[in-house]
Amino acid sequence: MAILKVLKLPDPRLKQVSAPVESFDQAVRDLVADLEETRLAGPAAVGIAAPQVGVLRRIIIVDVSTRPKTPNHGHLVLINPEILHWEGFAIGREGCLSVPDYTGNVIRATHIRLRAQDLDGVEHLYEMEGFEARAVQHEMDHLDGLLFVDRVVSRRTDLYRRQVHQPAVFPRVKAQ
């Protein structure tokens, strides 16, 4: 297993459309193991998508179970995911390992019905809501070359710079 390098905006590979997984072999398992290690390598993210490490395959991992009071299906490896049904919408704040300096307000469906395959190629259906549904929609966007910054209503009012932790130093004295 290995921690992989996460591509950052504006890497052009983040704008590509990923291809479906067709063979459910050891190479896919190894990739998922590396993706998971990378997701947790801090800052731990609730999700990651294969194209974020430069592998243009339709694979995402989502796990929102660490968030309190959030309905969820636990740790999910979702291969070739497809949303069959959307319902409702809500605005929520999102961040992304590929856009480390910003968060943004994005409109997402509040309920989705999802079909995806697991590591053995077996299909599953999920009914998802709230933050889990949001995380899946965010990660699935990566498979189509979209980032949350492409979804904000206004880049001027809906993007927020993450807090920068400044070292405690004396106030800078203006040059004369």
Judged by the rule CB under 5 A, the positions of this chain that interact with Ni ion are 96
Classify residue 3 as exposed, middle or buried by CB count within 10 Å of its CB (0-12, 13-18, 19+). middle
What is d(CA 143, CA 35) in angstroms, rounded to the nearest whole number?
14
Least Å distance, CB 135 to Ni ion, is: 9
Q: Catalytic amino acids?
A: 139
Closer CB to Ni ion, residue 96 or residue 143? 96
Least Å distance, CB 91 to Ni ion, is: 17
What is d(CA 121, CA 3) in angstroms, rounded to the nearest whole number?
25
Contact in structure between 103 and 97 (CB atoms under 8 Å) = no
Q: How many CB atoms lie within 10 A of CB 151?
A: 17
Closer CB to Ni ion, residue 21 or residue 60? 60
What is d(CA 106, CA 43) in angstroms, rounded to the nearest whole number?
21
Cα-flanking dihedrals φ and ψ of residue 39, to 5°? Answer: -60, -40
Least Å distance, CB 103 to Ni ion, is: 11
Closer CB to Ni ion, residue 92 or residue 121? 92
What is d(CA 17, CA 57) in angstroms, rounded to the nearest whole number?
9
Closer CB to Ni ion, residue 24 or residue 32? 32
Give the residue at shortest CB distance from Ni ion: 96
Least Å distance, CB 147 to Ni ion, is: 7
